[in-house]
Amino acid sequence: MTVLPITIWGEPVLHRRASEVEVFDDELRTLIADMFETNDAANGVGLAAPQVGVGKRIFVYKYANDDDAPASGVVVNPVLTLSKISGAAPDPDEEEEGCLSFPGDQYPLKRAEWARVEGFDGNGQPVKFEATGWFARVIQHEYDHLDGKLYVNRLMDRYARKAKKTAKKNGWGVPGLTWLPGVDPDPFGH
């Protein structure tokens, strides 16, 4: 298994819809294993294929949960069904999110409290589970990556302006920027 570089906001693959996986083969399973290794090295709770430069509809997660889902898994070609998202402002103390592709910063974001996930594992076998609370947030965050969205694209204006300033200050927004977990400093200080 290999730790892969994580793409940073501005890399084109992060900003376009990923394509469906059509072939479930050893190459796919190797990518999935590398994604798990990369997520672990980055101390992440989830990682989508576009975050490692691959425009395919795949994400992995590692999050202990109270739902009937395994604490670690992969979903290929996921379909998401969500509960309604509250129109209330996000709580800055309770609903802060971060992203390995927007490294180092966290901003509040309102998400649905419940999600149903359907898709496939790395062997093409059906996967279906429900997620609630923070686990639902993790699933929504990773799914967004597959549609070419980062959580900073969903922020309220006030936080979106702060995120844009951070991106500008760091020189993000251009192709070719990555960081390598386990080699580069952990942007979230784990």
Q: Which residues are annotated as a binding site?
A: 99, 141, 145
Q: Are 188 and 102 in contact (CB under 8 A)?
A: no
Q: Which candidate in 11, 37, 97, 142 is catalytic?
A: 142
Look up 142 and say whether it is catalytic. yes
Instruction: Quickly tell me which residue has 């796919």 as its tokens.
Output: 28
Torsion of CA 24, 14, 52, 119, to 10 degrees: -30
116: CB partners within 8 A, 6+ apart? 80, 81, 82, 128, 129, 130, 131
Q: List the end-to-end C-alpha distance of the chain, in Å, as a whole number.
A: 22
What one-letter code names the amino acid at 132? T
Backbone angles phi, psi at 142, to 5 degrees: -70, -40
For residue 105, give every residue at least 6 positions away whose Cβ sits within 8 Å of its Cβ, in sequence order, or none: 98, 162, 163, 166
Q: How far is CA 177 from the centre of its chain?
A: 17
Extract the annotated binding site for Fe cation: 99, 141, 145
Name 164's Cβ contacts closer than 8 Å, sequence gap at least 6.
none
**Catalytic residue list:** 142
